[in-house]
Amino acid sequence: MPAVGSLLFLLDVILIVHAARSGRFWPWAYVVLLLPGFGAAAYVLVELVPEWRRSAGGQRTQSKIVKALDPTKAYRALRDAVEIAPTIANRAALAEECLSLGRDDEALALFAGIVAEPQGDEPVFYVGKARAELAGGKPDEAAATLDELKRRSPDYHQAEAHLLYARALDEAGRTNEAADEYRAVATTYSGPEPLVRLAMLLTRKGDDAEARAIASDVVKRGKLSPKFVRERHARWFAAASDLLNS
C-alpha cells in the first residue's frame, strides 16, 4: 500500500510542522515519528480537537450540531429558567429562542408582557415585539409597535429596526411609504438587503426599469466585494441576479 504509506508520511510531516510552529515540538514530533499513524491520531485528539472546540468557529459548529440533533434543547432550558426566575432578561432570551424556532405567537406574548412593564421600556424589546408580529403575519401591528418606539425613543437609530419598519410597511401594502423607508435605510445598512427588497417592491409595482437598475448595481457591487461579504449576503446578491434574469 505505497499510496497509503505516502499519505501517512505526508500527514506526519504536516503535524510535525504544526507542532513546531505552535510550540509543541517536544514531545509531539517524536511521538508522531516513533508511532506512525497512532502518534498522528494522538496529536489530533489531544491537541487539535480541543483547540478547535475552544475556537469561535468550533463553538459555532458545535452549536449548530447540537441544534440540529436537538432543536428544542435551548428552548427547554430557557423555559425552565423562566419558571425558576421570570426576569425580563430570561423572558427576552426565551422569546428570541421562540422566534428562531418559529414559535411566533409565544415570542409575541413574551415580548408584549415585557414592554407592558415599567422596566421593559427598552427599544430592543419593542423591536423584538415587532419582529414577532411581522413573523406572525401581523405587519400592521409591527409597524404600529415601531411607531410607538419612535414616539418613546426618538433618538434611537438602529439599521435593523429601520429595515424591519420598511418590511412591515411593505407587507402591510403601504408600498410608497415602504419604498421611501427602503431608500433611507439603504444609506446606512451594511448589506444589499434593503436595495434588493426595494427592487422587488418596484417590480411588483411595475417599475421594471428602476428595479433592474437597482438590481444591476447590487450585482456589480457583489462582484467587487470581498469574499466574506459575498458569502455573508449571498442570499441577496443571488436575489438581485434573479431579478435581472427574470
pLDDT tens, residue by residue, 1-18 = 455 555 566 666 676 777
Cα distance between residue 78 and residue 136, in whole Å: 21
For residue 166, which of 153, 147, 191, 190 has the smallest C-alpha distance?
Answer: 147
Query: To the nearest whole percent, how much of the chain has pLDDT over 70?
Result: 77
Instruction: Count helices and strands (H / E) in the chain.
Output: 16, 0
pLDDT tens, residue by residue, 137-173 = 999 999 999 999 999 999 999 999 999 999 999 999 9
Q: Which helix (H) or strand (E) holds 134?
A: helix 123-135
Residue 58, pLDDT > 50, answer no
Residue 35 DSSP SS3? coil
Residue 59: count other Cβ atoms within 10 Å of its Cβ: 12
Cα distance between residue 121 and residue 243, in whole Å: 41
Residue 191 pLDDT level (bands cut at 50, 70, 90): very high
pLDDT tens, residue by residue, 213-243 = 999 999 999 999 999 999 999 999 999 999 9
pLDDT of residue 40: 72
Delimit the domains of the chain by residue range.
2-66, 70-156
Residue 52, pLDDT > 80, answer no
pTM to 2 decimal places: 0.73
Here the cell at position 164 is 424591519
Residue 171: count other Cβ atoms within 10 Å of its Cβ: 16
199 class by beta-carbon count within 10 Å (0-12 exposed, 13-18 middle, 19+ buried): buried
Q: What CATH number does the domain located at 70-156 have?
A: 1.25.40.10
Here the cell at position 130 is 415587532
Residue 30 pLDDT level (bands cut at 50, 70, 90): low
Higher pLDDT, 33 or 68: 33
Residue 185: count other Cβ atoms within 10 Å of its Cβ: 23
Higher pLDDT, 107 or 66: 107
Residue 64 pLDDT level (bands cut at 50, 70, 90): low
Residue 68, pLDDT > 60, answer no
Cα distance between residue 143 and residue 126, in whole Å: 11
Cα distance between residue 144 and residue 53, in whole Å: 44
